[in-house]
Structure 1
């Protein structure tokens, strides 16, 4: 490849990264639509899986084809022997159902930005930027004030996100083993507010509000290992084993809480600051994932993963658990490429299917809520250079309809773009 082509590819990649990074702050604040369960903790977590892995039911902690970045395991980044830039977006349609009400909601967000490049024959470096969690909820209720004939109006809202900027080092050790370490910085802020109003109807209705803003910032680590064992000669069939471990993190936080009183939208006096930049912390529990897969390279792959996170150990800024319980999930997925050397376009595409089932960290009223989903996906090549476009479709259900819980039925669409080029390779003149 000529120097001009490389400069052109690099410029295009940097331009895309700049454009998407500029729009990142505007996009992530929208979350993925109203999510009542995001009232707890740091909100609803985003998956570490990129688009290709999402369409396999998020399975694949043990295997990577080296074409796409597999972010489920830091050790698998070393399989990317060419410089790879990946970008993804996510959209979600959700139907919420409670015993007395239903709601439909829609949201979209940036899913991830990532770049991997080989620094040495057995060493790959990577950078990524993605949302870690989001808070996006809104609820309104009206109820009688005990002992009176008057109604009271209650309004609860929350907005914000925590983001994750990560640096990954992955190494190949020997012929079969790879290891990796992800060092990340979590940052962001979340705002929550609660308002109440006594509805007397004589023009003297007072609105009382409590506003809370919490800022977060600290480092976290995730390690991983992967083992590829050939079962047939010439790399025709491999057995893969892999696992990753996210260390528990004490996330530094600062919180400001204020109280205000208004009448007919006019403030009465200055807001009263209850706490100003109070320092504290949040403990994010450890998580591990392990998996196994059978791989016919560039033909067929089947993978199964199990993940567990000790949400029972979570501690909020107020040093409470907020009702979280340990979560665990099973992931199963498959990928099929009809014929990698074919001249027919659809024979070069990768087709995927997946299934996920397990317990979410939410435990309202002592009832652990399940989360189940199925997924489909396709990767379409763009030319012969390794560039591709990935579409992933996910449909699922979380929770049940009860007095303590809300049922969420969701449909997600992920769009991923992967750009590959050859950088840092010494030129040879024959």
Structure 2
């Protein structure tokens, strides 16, 4: 009965992930939007590390080789609430967004292999920008409104197996899909009609990843971990439909479409280059762990990029973090069974934006985050409620750009059980 309820909940959560609007960042204007990191709440609370980390009761979205270590059927669901403050030279604004970030299920296959599958947002678009022009007498002469919604999601399956003592290999395949809607509305003084350009982009394609993990037992029960995951180069197909038409406004400000000025349909590709993630870590099983990840990727090649406004360069990310668990089997103190997590993240997103629009003064967009978190055990099982807090900063006010200060609250449920075990009759 419990498994039937869980299956129904997964179906409901899947529809929510696909339909939700989960972004309010102006930087989601570019490309396919803001790309999300494939991390669980547990990993995000440690700065995003995990490529080398081995555990038998947590999911790992960074390295498919980690599935080899699963010893419990594990269901994970995670959500995010973001409070965002946008700063520019002329002032600041605030916004917020709440979203479901992942649902996933993993289980062991025998004693040396495991499989997991799930659904996650891959990128998100959610912006509303206004550009106004004034004459010498400070009268409004023209305004242009940019709006965008939508994004992409990924449905993935990952398999890992231990091929030698301490050495695991893994593979992952993802299907990426979604729709992005971008609108540009323009109205000029003295003209009865305005114009609006609506563009809808449907995205489809596959992503593939391979991974490796190695663990070496040292003295004093220390464990040295190393890992690497590589997302292979791939192309996503973009089917674009654009409509340009004139419009007027009624007394309440509602748009009234008039004549279609042009319509077009094109097919382009969004190239995603090779992405490599390296990591090492040291710790004691069910006691403490400290690790570092370094991720790097060549510049994205987007045929639909607007060269005079933005471009892509090489991206990289450094994550440092870990956890501490006072006493996993403590009977006298619940606080001793709580997992305490912390981490830092430094990222060069690879996005370069020219705030002047002249096409010759591009500024790199960087991101920084400080993370802390708690893993609250449920009963005597390995199941947990995980809470993560992050303060971060993205972008800059230089070059007529926007700086984002954000606070993320993450919450996840990780449920563990033993499946496929034969009943023992005494």
The TM tier, using the shorter chain, reads over 0.9
Q: Tell me whether 1:329 sits opposite 2:312 in the alignment.
A: no
Contact 1:253 1:317 in 2 (8 A): no
Q: Tell me whether 1:121 sits opposite 2:106 in the alignment.
A: no
Question: TM-score scaled to structure 1, two decimals?
Answer: 0.91
Question: Which of the numbers 8, 11, 14 marks the counterpart of 2:4?
Answer: 11
Seen in structure 2, the aligned counterparts of structure 1 residues 331 and 95 have a Cα distance that, compared at 3 Å, is same
The separation in 1 between residues aligned to 2:227 and 2:400, in whole angstroms, is 38
Question: Which of the numbers 15, 19, 34 marks the counterpart of 1:22?
Answer: 15
Q: Tell me whether 1:75 sits opposite 2:79 in the alignment.
A: no
The separation in 1 between residues aligned to 2:139 and 2:392, in whole angstroms, is 43
Give a deviation string over 1:64-114, Cα, whole Å, max 9, x none.
322211111111122111110000001101111111131101001111000
Question: Which of the numbers 212, 231, 234 marks the counterpart of 1:246?
Answer: 231
The separation in 2 between residues aligned to 1:333 and 1:98, in whole angstroms, is 31
Contact 2:231 2:275 in 1 (8 A): yes
Residue 291 of structure 1, CA deviation: 0.6
Q: Tell me whether 1:292 sits opposite 2:300 in the alignment.
A: no
Question: Which of the numbers 245, 251, 263 marks the counterpart of 1:274?
Answer: 263
Seen in structure 2, the aligned counterparts of structure 1 residues 151 and 373 have a Cα distance that, compared at 3 Å, is same
SS in 1 for 2:364: coil
The separation in 2 between residues aligned to 1:358 and 1:267, in whole angstroms, is 43
Q: CA RMSD in A?
A: 1.9
The separation in 1 between residues aligned to 2:305 and 2:338, in whole angstroms, is 50
Contact 2:146 2:184 in 1 (8 A): yes
Question: Which of the numbers 164, 184, 189 marks the counterpart of 1:174?
Answer: 164
The separation in 2 between residues aligned to 1:188 and 1:59, in whole angstroms, is 27
Q: 1:4 aligns to what? A: none
Contact 2:17 2:121 in 1 (8 A): no
Q: 1:39 aligns to what? A: 29
Contact 1:55 1:393 in 2 (8 A): yes
Q: 1:219 aligns to what? A: 206
**Aligned 1:79-228 pairs, distance under 5 A:** 79-144=69-134, 151-200=141-190, 205-228=192-215
SS in 2 for 1:370: strand
The separation in 1 between residues aligned to 2:206 and 2:18, in whole angstroms, is 20
Give a deviation string over 1:22-52, Cα, whole Å, max 9, x none.
322332xx123x2111111111011111000
The separation in 1 between residues aligned to 2:362 and 2:133, in whole angstroms, is 25
The separation in 2 between residues aligned to 1:78 and 1:241, in whole angstroms, is 15
Contact 2:31 2:305 in 1 (8 A): no
Question: Which of the numbers 318, 335, 351 marks the counterpart of 1:346?
Answer: 335
Contact 1:99 1:403 in 2 (8 A): no
Q: 1:5 aligns to what? A: none
The separation in 1 between residues aligned to 2:311 and 2:304, in whole angstroms, is 14
The separation in 2 between residues aligned to 1:141 and 1:319, in whole angstroms, is 17
Contact 1:41 1:316 in 2 (8 A): no
Residue 267 of structure 1, CA deviation: 2.5
Gaps of 5+ in 1: 1-7
Q: More deviation in 120-129 or 86-95?
A: 120-129
Seen in structure 2, the aligned counterparts of structure 1 residues 161 and 350 have a Cα distance that, compared at 3 Å, is same
Q: What count of residue pairs does the alignment treat as equivalent?
A: 411
The separation in 1 between residues aligned to 2:5 and 2:283, in whole angstroms, is 33
Residue 252 of structure 1, CA deviation: 1.2
Residue 266 of structure 1, CA deviation: 2.8
Choose between structure 1 and 2: higher strand proportion.
2
Residue 11 of structure 1, CA deviation: 2.3
